[in-house]
Amino acid sequence: MDSSAWGMLMQGAWTTAWISATSIAIGVVLGLLVALVRLARIPVVHQVLGLYISIARATPLVTLVLFIFLTAPTMGIHLNRNVAGILALTLNTTAFNAEIWRSAFNNFSKEQREAAMAIGMTPWIYFRRIMLPQITITSLPGLVNEMSFLIKGSPAIAVIGIVDLTRVTNRISAVTYDPLPPILAAAVIYMGIISLLVWLQRIAERKANRLAV
């Protein structure tokens, strides 16, 4: 592999990284909001979100990416490839994250809630100061797991022409006729990105030990 091949690889890695990071950032927050809204059990909204989660979790990423990219123009929306890719990844990961957050809410200590209510905290102060900091830490292993699934599943966005880290290896081997080196190099980069996440997770878990009362 020459330097131009490395350059292409790095560009692919960057594409994968920023599109995944954007989807993760939106998906984690949106998943929290979906879980919160479901917690309120508002009729209709509750069922609609439940249906969304079931469908999004059951749909292959490739299908979702193609569906969004192909149907948006028929509804008069012109999506740039990157936006379509981010939208698909976000819709997918939000559904999984919402379930992770929801189980954290459901398992949260009733005693701590009572202590907060008894001392005069409003539900909002309780949520922000007592519950959220703790469920963020306890949910992190699940969330990081989902993040790594998303990154590893992100080559699906290549079907609409985004040149990500996997797609770029095809392009390089089309010139060099030697597919193995770029594929191995890409694999190492994927591992690097994911081990960064796992490292963050480990720090969080160390913090989580404190939460064992």
Partner 1 sequence: MHEPATSETTMVSVAETADTSVVAAAVSIRGVSKSFDGTEVLRDVSMEVAPGEVVSILGSSGSGKSTLLRCINWLETPDRGEIHIAGDRIGMSDTGKPMSRRELAGMRSRLGMVFQSFNLWPHLSVLRNVTEAPIHVQGCSKAEAGERAMALLEKVGMAHKCDAFPYTLSGGQKQRVAIARALAMQPKVMLFDEPTSALDPELVGEVLAVIKDLSKEGYTMVIVTHEMEFARAVSDQVVFLDKGIIIEKSPPEEFFVTPKTDRVRRFLELEAPTA
Binding site for partner 1 (CB under 8 A): 109, 111-112, 114-123, 125, 129-130, 133-134, 137, 209-213
Question: Smaller CB distance to partner 1: residue 43 or 120?
Answer: 120
Question: Smaller CB distance to partner 1: residue 56 or 116?
Answer: 116
Question: Smaller CB distance to partner 1: residue 42 or 191?
Answer: 42
Query: What's the min distance (Å) between Cβ of 37 and partner 1?
Result: 18
Query: What's the min distance (Å) between Cβ of 201 and partner 1?
Result: 17
Question: Smaller CB distance to partner 1: residue 44 or 118?
Answer: 118
Among the listed residues 34, 180, 44, 7, the one whose alpha carbon sits nearest the alpha carbon of residue 93: 34
The helix-helix angle for 81-107 and 45-58 (nearest 10°) equals 120
Query: What's the min distance (Å) between Cβ of 104 and partner 1?
Result: 13
Query: What's the min distance (Å) between Cβ of 123 and partner 1?
Result: 6
Query: What's the min distance (Å) between Cβ of 206 and partner 1?
Result: 13
Distance CA 205, CA 143 (A): 12
Question: Smaller CB distance to partner 1: residue 81 or 113?
Answer: 113
Distance CA 104, CA 129 (A): 16
Q: Which helix (H) or strand (E) holds 127?
A: none
97 class by beta-carbon count within 10 Å (0-12 exposed, 13-18 middle, 19+ buried): buried
Sign of the torsion angle spanned by Cα atoms 80, 82, 83, 87? positive
